[in-house]
A and B are shown apart, each in its own frame.
Chain A
Amino acid sequence: MLDIKNLHVEIDGKKILNGLDLSVKAGEVHAIMGPNGSGKSTLSYVLAGKDEYEVTEGSIAYNGEDLLEMEPDERATAGVFLAFQYPVEIPGVASMTFLKAAINAHRKARGQDEISTPDFMRLIKETSAKLNVSQDMLRRPLNVGFSGGEKKRNEIMQMALLEPSLCVLDETDSGLDIDALRIVSDGVNALRGPDRAMVVITHYQRLLTHIVPDVVHVMSKGRIVKTGGKDLALELEKSGYADYDAEEAA
């Protein structure tokens, strides 16, 4: 589904990714771990199409198409979803208005009519209940006054509503307490399926006890330096990232 080859990315002339390779098949969950500054979040933004990142070399194929040629909104409607590490607050935009606009943008891209109001309300009610997103949150402007945990639950609710085929979760565990972590993880696990792939970016192992990955990668200095099974995460938890930084520096 996702095939990244020799990806080099710069921002403001600073090299962040230096020849990253990653291949993810439908149905798989890949975890990407690594120390701060290793380029994990950059990878997520490049996949979603943020424009201040400049790709200087390499390619990203998504379902056989050149992802780098697609605009951010085209990537989204083609099934790429980024759960943001820091979801933005948008004062003045009602959560419900935003959700309806997002759902309809996806429907339009598929050639479907706009969702009817009763169908929309039913869909929101079902999905929000599963992720413990309250009616009060939905009445507020998007993410405004939400706690860290509420913002993350809102991200996963959007993921559930938009039914993407490639989910990129950027540090979804940051700022979550144990209960919120469980709710979010259950929400993510419910979306696992044979047609869907997930890239879970995290600094800590604890998320991966809830969302158990098929493959674990370690990133350092803009490249993937080690790949293994789910046990690799546990190993890292014990030894830390120091080895990888040192290895690169040597």
Chain B
Amino acid sequence: MNDLQKISTPAETALITALETLPQADGWVREARAAAAERFRVTGLPHRRIEDWKYTDLRTLMREVAPLSESGGAVATPEHFADLATDRIVVSDGQIVAGDMPEGVSVVATDDLLGQSDAWLRDVLTAEMDGIASPVLDLNTALMRGGVVIRIAARTELTRPLQIAFVAGGEAEASFVRNVISVGEGAIAPILIGHEGPDGVAYQANTVTHVEVADRARVDLVRLQVEGDQATHLATVASRIAGNAVLNLFTITLGASLSRTQVAFRMEGQHSELRFSGAQLLRGTQHADTTMYVDHREPDCTSRELYKTVLDDKSRGVFQGKIMVHRDAQKTDGRMMSQALMLSTTAEIDNKPELEIYADDVQCGHGATAGQLDDDLMFYLKARGLPPAEAEKLLIAAFIGEAIEGIDIEPLRDAVSGAAMAWLDAR
């Protein structure tokens, strides 16, 4: 079809070389890895002429590829959110360390299920899902290793949050971690996911996490990205939501020099509620992209999205959000708002909200704003004695606070507030 010889960048060449020796696999796993590798060989890294990647040109931004991680290193200890009262699972260097889990919670290595060509895992990993297909996902599928599968049995009610800490070791390596969090019918599950690693190490984390929400389940999921300052973080969160269920997802981006968080929701049942909120707090030359896709396929569901980006110095933020309403998804109620606060004149925000609606009886809306701190509010606070730095801090905290308030589980909300305040204190 395309006769032109594609010129690969050094990073792409390195990745294609790495794909020549895929991890050992049988059955569907081998097929899936091979097919994904082949797709990547054709596409290469996504670049600005691909609509979805217009503002995050990975071909240009990812100049080098770190060597693939070897599992078996020492398990790193999480430093963030270490003193929360949670049931903790640490995933580091291909190893999983979990304490005693509450009844109804099972934790297994994704690698074990892949090794058995497990049929349930196949159904989750290969389920039809719009809004996530990308060369980044293909790389993960071809090379996936070292993830965790957490299954929460039907009607389990977790009394304290489950904490999953993904910790990068001290090496400048590339990892391709694949996880599943599956929440059974009627279960109640507050979950905190942390992605962290050391500063000063140019590691590359490509993680894909499937979140399966069964009928009548309620999942409160908070995701904190606090990767090291030289890290590249490419994350995909793919969530299928059944009927009468609630998913309240909050993601905050604080770390990594380059990050893309791609989140997709497939509303497969009726009367379900999706809430997605979060914040990106960026400084220096950080580049962070949050791209969201909500796929309304069934009637009577609601979705609410509120995303806040704060940009300082020469940072660049991207928020792309799309709500898709299929013809059968009547009575869909979807609202999306993305707001950016610019603290410097050299920062950049690219805000792209989209609606695509095929049903005729829906309520959908979106908004996007970008602005600076309000002079009148600043003057009022200064006139009450607050030094400019403190007045700014109060107003920035108020700006992101509106999104943080959407977290219903108090310890999770406190963890996010604490992380945001630490960012503000370091300004």
A93 contact from B385, B388, B398, Cβ within 8 A: B398
**A-chain residues with CB within 8 Å of residue B394 when the two chains form the complex:** 93, 97-98, 101
Q: Does A102 contact B (CB under 8 A)?
A: yes
Interface residues of B in 394-421 (CB under 8 A from A): 394-395, 397-399, 401-402
A71 CA to B388 CA, complexed, in Å: 9
Q: Does A13 contact B (CB under 8 A)?
A: no
Contact across chains for B384 and A158 when beta carbons are under 8 A apart:
yes
**A-chain residues with CB within 8 Å of residue B171 when the two chains form the complex:** none
A50 contact from B377, B379, B397, B402, Cβ within 8 A: B379
A88 contact from B376, B387, B402, Cβ within 8 A: B376
Interface residues of A in 84-99 (CB under 8 A from B): 84, 87-88, 90-93, 97-98
Q: Shortest Cβ distance from A8 into chain B, in angstroms?
A: 22
Known: A88-B376, A90-B377. A72 touches B383 (CB 8 A): yes
Known: A98-B394, A101-B390, A101-B394. A90 touches B385 (CB 8 A): no
A48 contact from B383, B386, B387, Cβ within 8 A: B383
**B-chain residues with CB within 8 Å of residue A49 when the two chains form the complex:** 382-383
Which has the most chain B C-beta neighbours within 10 Å: A71, A73, A90, A101?
A: A73
**B-chain residues with CB within 8 Å of residue A72 when the two chains form the complex:** 379, 382-383
Interface residues of A in 148-206 (CB under 8 A from B): 158, 162
A88 CA to B397 CA, complexed, in Å: 17
Q: Does B28 contact A (CB under 8 A)?
A: no
Q: How many residues of A contact B (CB 8 A)?
A: 28
Which has the most chain A C-beta neighbours within 10 Å: B376, B385, B390?
A: B385
A93 CA to B391 CA, complexed, in Å: 11
B395 contact from A73, A93, A162, Cβ within 8 A: A93
A75 CA to B382 CA, complexed, in Å: 9
Interface residues of A in 76-125 (CB under 8 A from B): 76-77, 82, 84, 87-88, 90-93, 97-98, 101-102, 105-106, 109
A51 CA to B379 CA, complexed, in Å: 9
**A-chain residues with CB within 8 Å of residue B380 when the two chains form the complex:** 84, 87-88, 90
Cβ-closest chain A residue relative to B405 = A92
Contact across chains for A90 and B395 when beta carbons are under 8 A apart:
yes
Q: Shortest Cβ distance from B184 into chain A, in angstroms?
A: 37
**A-chain residues with CB within 8 Å of residue B390 when the two chains form the complex:** 101, 105
Cβ-closest chain A residue relative to B389 = A73
Q: Shortest Cβ distance from A115 into chain B, in angstroms?
A: 13
Cβ-closest chain B residue relative to A141 = B398
Q: Shortest Cβ distance from B369 into chain A, in angstroms?
A: 14
Q: Shortest Cβ distance from B387 into chain A, in angstroms?
A: 5
Q: Mark each residue of chain B from 139 to 176: 1 if its CB lies under 8 Å from any CB of chain A, else 0.
A: 00000000000000000000000000000000000000
Cβ-closest chain B residue relative to A109 = B385
Q: Shortest Cβ distance from A211 into chain B, in angstroms?
A: 21
Which has the most chain B C-beta neighbours within 10 Å: A50, A72, A97?
A: A72
**A-chain residues with CB within 8 Å of residue B399 when the two chains form the complex:** 92
A98 CA to B387 CA, complexed, in Å: 13
B387 contact from A73, A93, A141, Cβ within 8 A: A73
Q: Shortest Cβ distance from B207 into chain A, in angstroms?
A: 32
Cβ-closest chain A residue relative to B379 = A50
Q: Shortest Cβ distance from A137 into chain B, in angstroms?
A: 17
Instruction: Provide a sorted-by-A list of 11 A–B residue pairs whose CB atoms are within 8 angstroms.
Output: A49-B383, A50-B379, A75-B383, A82-B383, A87-B380, A90-B381, A91-B402, A92-B399, A93-B394, A98-B381, A102-B386
Closest 5 A/B residue pairs (Cβ): A92-B398, A105-B385, A76-B385, A72-B382, A102-B384
With A71-B388, A73-B383, A82-B383 known, 20 other A-B pairs at CB within 8 A are: A48-B383, A49-B383, A50-B379, A71-B382, A72-B382, A73-B382, A73-B385, A73-B387, A77-B385, A84-B380, A90-B377, A90-B381, A91-B398, A92-B401, A98-B384, A101-B386, A102-B384, A105-B385, A105-B390, A141-B398
